[in-house]
Structure 1
Amino acid sequence: MNRLTHLVDAKLLKFLLVGVVNTLVGMAIMFGLYNLAGCSYWISSAANYILTSILSFFLNKRFTFQNRERGAGPAVRFALNIAVCYLLAYGIAQPLCLHLLAGAAQAVRDNVSMFVGMCLFTGFNYLGQRLFAFREK
């Protein structure tokens, strides 16, 4: 329980604030590419995370976690974290939603799946950034 209360603090609030900005931009990218540009599920969601992850790296490194570490270490850990969280979140969301919404139209299943993937990604990403990418030494 003490470990959990350590994770719920001002850094979580800052992470969520940065996340609101990233989420709004990312949703416009992802749903716009899928619904307006006709891109696939994977292209739309990947473009979202590639583009917003760049902004997220700088905001979370300095503002949220106040990480002053220099060199490539934080960037490499951050990129690895994003990749793992993305594959995990969307790899869980898509088959789950395809199963639960089997009778729905493909576009409905994909849109709900992208939304569920975003929610899973947020939780996985916070833990990964806090405990791995920008961990306190």
Structure 2
Amino acid sequence: MIKKIFDPTMIRFLMVGVINTIVGTGTMFLLYNFVGCSYWFSSSANYIVGGCVSYFLNKFFTFKNREKSWLQVLKFIMTVVFCYFIGFGVAKPVTMWLLDTQPIVIQENIAMCIGMCLYVVLNYFIQKFMVFNTNMK
């Protein structure tokens, strides 16, 4: 089971993640810190922009999946939404509680970083075993 989890797809997933992080996180922090958008708008923009990049890179490069299916697209979208709300929904209140004496901008920037980490872990496993897994048929 461990070998099935830690296989070459994880390395490719992390490589795609670097590209995604540059694109999505750049969008998120730019919107939050320079445009003045809210925590939720900025972090969701990250996953809308990054999600588009992620779908194609993970489908064809990471998991080498050639299936043509609207159900797969729907599963991917549902995975992104689920991971987003779990990751960021948990990160913000916990960070706000832990750093309650810090300025809100510090709390929310740290919460966004923690939310990204939670998102990545959940997202990898759901994509690997549920969205792009061709062995599940």
TM-score > 0.5, shorter chain as reference? yes
2:2 & 2:108 partners in 1: Cα distance?
A: 33
2:2 & 2:117 partners in 1: Cα distance?
A: 19
Deviation beyond 4 Å, 4+ runs, structure 1: none
* Count of aligned positions: 135
State the shift of 1:5 in Å: 2.4
The reply on whether 1:135 has 2:128 as its aligned counterpart is no
Is the partner of 1:27 in helix, strand or coil? Answer: helix
| Bigger shift: residues 27-36 or 65-74 | 65-74
After TM superposition, the structure 1 = structure 2 runs for residues 33-112 of structure 1, keeping only pairs within 5 Å, are 33-112=31-110
Q: 1:113 aligns with which of 102, 111, 115?
A: 111
Is the partner of 1:110 in helix, strand or coil? Answer: helix
Is the partner of 1:69 in helix, strand or coil? Answer: coil
State the shift of 1:62 in Å: 0.5
State the shift of 1:50 in Å: 0.4
Alignment gaps of 5+ in structure 2: none
State the shift of 1:18 in Å: 0.2
Alignment gaps of 5+ in structure 1: none
2:133 & 2:50 partners in 1: Cα distance?
A: 21
2:54 & 2:25 partners in 1: Cα distance?
A: 14
Please say if residues 43 and 112 of structure 2, whose CA atoms lie closer than 8 Å, have aligned partners that are also in contact: yes
* Structure-2-length-normalised TM-score: 0.96
State the shift of 1:73 in Å: 1.7
Matching residue of 1:31:
29
Identity %: 41
1:50 & 1:4 partners in 2: Cα distance?
A: 31
Is the partner of 1:36 in helix, strand or coil? Answer: helix
1:136 & 1:102 partners in 2: Cα distance?
A: 46
AA aligned to 1:115 is: C
